Amino acid sequence: MDTLIVGAGAMGRWFATHVPGSITFADIDQSAAHEAAATHDGEVLQQGTTEEQNYDLVCIAVPMSAVVETIETYGSYAQEAIVDITGVMELPLQSMEAVCPDIQRASFHPLFAPENAPGNIPTVIDREGPIISTVIEWFESQGNTIIPTTAEEHDTAMESIQAAAHTAVIAYGLAVDDVPDGYGTPISNTLDELVTQVTTGNPDVYLEIQEMFDGADRVAEMAQQIATADRETFVKLYHEATPAESNSVSQ
| pLDDT at residue 248 greater than cutoff 70 | no
According to the model, what pLDDT value does residue 251 have? 36
Amino acid at 241: A
CB contact at 8 A, 100 and 78: yes
Q: How many CA atoms does the CB half-sphere of 81 hold within 13 Å?
A: 25
Query: How distant, in Å, are the alpha carbons of 68, 130, 156 from that of 23?
Result: 22, 18, 33
Residue among 144, 114, 89 at smallest CA distance from 36: 114
pTM, to two decimals? 0.90
**Residue 238, Cβ density class (10 Å: 0-12 exposed, 13-18 middle, ≥19 buried):** exposed
Q: What three-state secondary structure class fits 5?
A: strand
According to the model, what pLDDT value does residue 46 have? 80
pLDDT, tens digit, 9 for 90 and up, residues 131-185 = 999 999 999 999 999 999 999 999 999 999 999 999 999 999 999 999 999 999 9
Q: In what order do the strands lie in the sheet with 120-127?
A: 43-44, 22-26, 2-6, 55-60, 78-84, 104-108, 120-127, 145-148
For residue 110, say if its preceding peptide bond is cis, omega within 30 degrees of 0: no
pLDDT band, very low/low/confident/very high, at 212 (cuts 50, 70, 90): very high
Contacts of residue 193, Cβ cutoff 8 Å, sequence gap at least 6:
none
4: which DSSP letter? E
**Mean pLDDT, residues 110-130 taken together:** 96
According to the model, what pLDDT value does residue 50 have? 55
According to the model, what pLDDT value does residue 63 have? 96
Give the start-to-end residue ranges of the domains of the chain. 2-149, 153-250
**Mean pLDDT, residues 26-30 taken together:** 95
**Residue 222, Cβ density class (10 Å: 0-12 exposed, 13-18 middle, ≥19 buried):** middle
- Compute the distance between CA of residue 63 and CA of residue 141 in angstroms, rounded to an integer: 26
Task: Indicate the pairing of strand 104-108 with strand 120-127.
Answer: antiparallel
Average pLDDT, the chain: 94
pLDDT, tens digit, 9 for 90 and up, residues 47-83 = 766 567 899 999 999 999 999 999 999 999 999 999 9
For every residue of 120-139, DSSP letters joined together read EEEEEEEE--HHHHHHHHHH
Hey, what CATH class is 2-149 in? alpha beta
Share above pLDDT 70 across residues of the chain, in percent, rounded to a whole number: 95
